[in-house]
Structures are given as structure tokens and as C-alpha cells.
Amino acid sequence: MSVPKYTSVFLAKRFLNTNRAAIREKLPLKDPASQRARDQKKKLLMKQAKDFLPYRLDYFAKLYGYHYDRLRFSHANTRWGSCSSNGTISLNIGLMNLPEKLRDYVLIHELAHLNHMDHSKAFWAEVGSHDKNYRDHRRRLKGYSPSV
């Protein structure tokens, strides 16, 4: 539940308790079989991602002179990856469903964030210096969803 920052926990809980039945009626029911299949798919993608992505990320990091401190995996619904200011790169396990060129573009994109924590002209110039077709890759990536 999202509430304004100034809302008290008491009021939020009271709202939930008062409206619990109505909220449950509006939530879609999930088929247990499809949920199990989704869980299995996530487990398989996580294994594939852990077996492949660290080596591919290291390859590009060494090739282009980057250093990151930590790699973590997620299954976020909206992001292919992220890079924190402390040098942690997060990659979505859904990358394993992408064509290789698009997966490589995401890795290069996140590594470039180690030097530019924004999407400035300098950032895109750096991405472009490592991936000449980044504009096409970026456009094609929009046709896929990171959701697993």
C-alpha cells in the first residue's frame, strides 16, 4: 500500500483492517499451477544468470577497464539492471531471455554507470564507445519485458 509520507502507521493499518474484504475482492486470484510454473522458471533463470552473467560482466569490465565491487541478481518487474554509487551492479535474471546482443548492451550500460551515474551526453558517449549499435539495441530492448 502506498500512502503519503506524513500518514501515520496507525491510520494505514486502520484503513487496511476496515477495507480488507473489499481489497481481497479486487485482487486477482492466482492459479496455483501457474504460480508454481512461474516459481520454477524464476529458479531456472536464477541458476542460468548466476552461471553466465558474472563471467560476461567480468569480460566487459576487464576489456574496457571498469571495476565494480559487487554483483547481485534480482527479478524486478521494471528494470534490466542498475548500478549504485557504491559500485554494486544489479542484474535482472530476465536478461537470460534476451538475445545476446541486447544482454551485452545492458551489461555495458550498467558498467558505464560506474563512471556516470546519470544518462548525460558523456554517459551515452561512453556507452557508444563500447557498443556502436547501442541506439538500435536500446530501441529493440523496449520490445521485451524484464518481468519473469
pTM, to two decimals: 0.78
pLDDT in tens, 64-120: 999 999 999 999 889 999 999 999 999 999 999 999 999 999 999 999 999 999 999
In this structure, are residues 87 and 70 in contact, taking their beta carbons and an 8 Å threshold?
Answer: yes
What is the reported pLDDT for 26? 84
Q: What is the pLDDT of residues 15-51, one digit of tens each?
A: 999 998 888 888 877 777 788 888 899 999 999 999 9
| 18-36 b/e (C-beta count within 10 Å ≥ 16 → b) | eeeeeeeeeeeeeeeeeee
Which cell numbers in the block locate residue 56?
560476461
With cell 485482487, the residue in question is: 27
pLDDT of residue 58 exceeding 80: yes
d(CA 5, CA 107): 35
